[in-house]
Copies of this chain bind each other. A is one copy, B any other.
Amino acid sequence: MEQVKTVELISVGTELLLGNIVNTNAAWLAEQCAALGLSCFYQTVVGDNEERLSAVLKTALERSDVVILSGGLGPTADDLTKETTAKVMGRRLLMDEPSRRHIQEYFQKKSMEIPENNWKQALIPENALAIENENGTAPGILLEEEKHIVILLPGPPNELLPMFTQRIAPYLASKTGGTICSRTIKICGIGESRVETIIKDIMQTQTNPTIAPYAKNGEVHLRLTAQAESKEQAEVMIQPMLEELQQRFGENIYTVQEEITLEQAVYHLLLEKEWSVCTAESCTGGMLAGRLINVPGVSQVFKSGYVTYSNQAKEEILGVEKELLETYGAVSSQTAEAMARGAAKTAGTQVAVAVTGIAGPDGGTEEKPVGLVYISCYCQGKVRTEKFQFKGSRAKVREASVASALILLRQCIR
């Protein structure tokens, strides 16, 4: 096939139909295909059933240039994606020598006997290309005809993702005439509706590039996408909108790089200032430290953290005074501040952030309801404490607290 424009995804698996697993493969593949400039108009989920899969595949071939099937390449009799595809496309299945050898080596490496079933995975439709699977025994399959490209991928994400990225994406890129380029602006410290108001005029007139906001746990990401003939051209088209948005959101933007997380942005700020940080957590109980330690190399700025869930722990570890706890309570701006100061002193860091709150579902009162959280940030002698009233489950309150703590931390360091 010379040039392809449309792609369709078929996910095969009973566990998807039963809702036992969420179809993350489809979302990931869709995003990758969009980035390659392919339009995806349909995604279908169907079970491991020859008749139904065959009907779905035929429909897809009628309306899309590229059809990507995932799942159902396993060794058991249930798995029939390859067999069904071969039948629909009118191809025989032949033993593929490299795939056979790969299966043999895979099991040898694990010092395991090869189950009889697995040999079936080395059968490949005639004139199709077998694609080596680095993380499993089922090879991918690439089948090009005059009017279609059909691609079969294994279902497990740890097999599908690298195979698509390394082998399928470059192949498809060579088959699409245009390309899409995306940039992400990550904003923190202002809510989604406020962000939408600020960009309303752009939203209303957008065509190419487009702009789309996504709210995500205390942050709002703006995704700019331009379509053009070349990547360079698309990048040039995005630039003016990117600059306009940088002006509008100013320091609320913590990064314009897709791969940078909020905790990484905080880490880079600390590195710049040559400061170290420590955490003192009550209701978030280690989650905030856990997020900071997501960052590889964080040991340069993070040495220790404290989970002080009980009042006694707050006294003994952070030196919060018993009187203060009795007067204002564990969930108060006074305690939050004392925790932050105490943590910085105990750990000997320039910066410390403390969280204390009522995550629920119990323990709330009229005066101090569930979701009330105080976050305090100590930074080189100065302290800033903020009060939050979050909504939702225990998990939601804790997650929102962690995000807010990172945002406050970023503001104070700056």
Chain A: residues with CB nearer than 8 A to chain B? 15-24, 26-34, 40-47, 49, 52, 56, 59, 158, 212, 214, 223, 279, 281, 283-290, 292-294, 296-299, 302-310, 312-313, 316-317, 347, 359-362, 392, 394-395, 398
> Given A19-B32, A23-B22, do A310 and B304 touch, yes or no (CB 8 Å)?
yes
A309 contact from B15, B284, B293, Cβ within 8 A: B293
> Given A286-B288, A309-B293, do A19 and B23 touch, yes or no (CB 8 Å)?
no
Contacts of A44 in B (CB 8 A): 42-45
A298 — nearest CB in chain B belongs to which residue? B309
The 10 A-B pairs of least Cβ separation, nearest first, read: A286-B286, A285-B293, A19-B30, A19-B31, A286-B289, A305-B307, A304-B313, A43-B45, A303-B310, A287-B290
- Quick check: B296 and A362 within 8 Å, CB to CB? yes
- Min Cβ gap A80→B in Å is 15
- Quick check: B18 and A294 within 8 Å, CB to CB? no
Docked complex Cα distance between A18 and B34 (Å): 6
- Residue contacts A-B, CB under 8 angstroms, 15 given: A19-B28, A23-B26, A23-B27, A42-B45, A42-B46, A158-B392, A284-B293, A285-B290, A287-B290, A296-B360, A296-B362, A303-B310, A304-B310, A305-B306, A305-B307
> Given A41-B47, A44-B43, A298-B309, do A22 and B20 touch, yes or no (CB 8 Å)?
no
Contacts of A359 in B (CB 8 A): 296
- Quick check: A395 and B309 within 8 Å, CB to CB? no
- Quick check: A286 and B296 within 8 Å, CB to CB? no
A286 contact from B31, B305, B313, Cβ within 8 A: B305
Task: Tell me the number of copies of this protein.
Answer: 2
- Min Cβ gap A181→B in Å is 14
Contacts of A279 in B (CB 8 A): 286, 307
Contacts of A284 in B (CB 8 A): 290, 293
A41 contact from B17, B281, B316, Cβ within 8 A: B17
- Quick check: B303 and A312 within 8 Å, CB to CB? yes
Docked complex Cα distance between A288 and B290 (Å): 9
- Quick check: A307 and B304 within 8 Å, CB to CB? yes
- Quick check: A41 and B46 within 8 Å, CB to CB? yes
Contacts of A22 in B (CB 8 A): 22-24, 27
List 9 additional A-B contacts (Cβ < 8 Å) besides A19-B30, A42-B44, A286-B290: A17-B30, A19-B27, A22-B22, A42-B46, A281-B286, A284-B290, A287-B293, A296-B359, A296-B394
Contacts of A285 in B (CB 8 A): 286, 289-290, 292-293, 302, 305
- Min Cβ gap A238→B in Å is 17
Docked complex Cα distance between A13 and B283 (Å): 36
Contacts of A27 in B (CB 8 A): 16, 19-23
- Quick check: B42 and A56 within 8 Å, CB to CB? yes
Contacts of A52 in B (CB 8 A): 41-42
Contacts of A15 in B (CB 8 A): 212
Docked complex Cα distance between A306 and B285 (Å): 10
Contacts of A309 in B (CB 8 A): 293, 298-299, 302-305
Docked complex Cα distance between A214 and B302 (Å): 37
- Quick check: A317 and B304 within 8 Å, CB to CB? yes
Contacts of A289 in B (CB 8 A): 285-286, 307
- Quick check: B45 and A19 within 8 Å, CB to CB? no
Docked complex Cα distance between A307 and B302 (Å): 10
- Min Cβ gap A412→B in Å is 20
Contacts of A297 in B (CB 8 A): 362
Contacts of A43 in B (CB 8 A): 16-17, 44-45
